[in-house]
Amino acid sequence: MTTPLSWLPLPSPPGRAEDEPASESDDQALDPVELAALHRGRDAGEAAAGWVRERASRQEDERHALALEHAAAGIERASHQEVFPGGDGQLAEELRYSLAADVLLGAAHTATLPDLAPGERMPLVAVCALAAAMPSCVHGDLPRGLTLLADGLDAATAAGHAAITATGSTG
């Protein structure tokens, strides 16, 4: 059975290379509710990563921009490729590092902080923490857990956008 969401790419299941394309049988092996939750998580992650990339684009220090770009890529990966039924629910070390709360400090050895508008720091920590938690949903009720985390990710992203609006900053 093909669902309206089945044409979208899914995370790679265990044992298959990340660059190997998903087959139609992979989509069909998933419950439609799980499939919808996986797509919901991926969409929320992409939106959050886009918001973080906007923060990266306005950094004068390229090292801070790169740290935020790594966080954005980590959000996308943690909310998509790292979430699959049957997975171990663990983040790779480089993902844990890129999604750590010290993303607020920016690049090490700069003696400056990233340029963030008032009110953007907490949403930044929240999107990183929520994305980092997404892979662990495979150990429980994946649709419920992933949907709740995706909702939180959307709320944190919206709060970040609202911080810009409230301060009158651009970005």
Per-residue pLDDT of the chain in tens (171 residues, 90 and over written 9):
333 443 344 444 444 444 444 444 455 578 899 999 999 999 999 999 999 999 999 999 999 999 999 999 999 999 999 998 888 888 888 899 999 978 888 888 888 999 999 899 999 999 999 999 999 999 999 999 999 999 999 999 999 999 977 666 555
94-115 confidence digits (pLDDT tens): 899 999 978 888 888 888 999 9
Does residue 2 lie in a domain region? no
Q: Which tokens hold the place of 17?
A: 């290379």
HSE-CB at 16 with a 13 A cutoff on CA atoms is 15
Does residue 25 lie in a domain region? no
Does residue 14 lie in a domain region? no
The count of structural domains within the chain is: 1
Does residue 84 lie in a domain region? yes
Does residue 153 lie in a domain region? yes
DSSP assignment string, the chain? ---TTTTS--PPPTTS-TTSPPPHHHHHHS-HHHHHHHHHHHHHHHHHHHHHHHHHHT-SSHHHHHHHHHHHHHHHHHHTTT--TTS-----HHHHHHTSGGGGG-STT-SS-----TT-HHHHHHHHHHHHHGGGGGGS-HHHHHHHHHHHHHHHHHHHHHHHHHHT---
Does residue 149 lie in a domain region? yes
Give the list of residues 6+ apart from residue 69 with CB closer than 8 angstroms, or none.
53, 56
Does residue 21 lie in a domain region? no
Does residue 7 lie in a domain region? no
Domain holding 75, by residue range, is 31-167
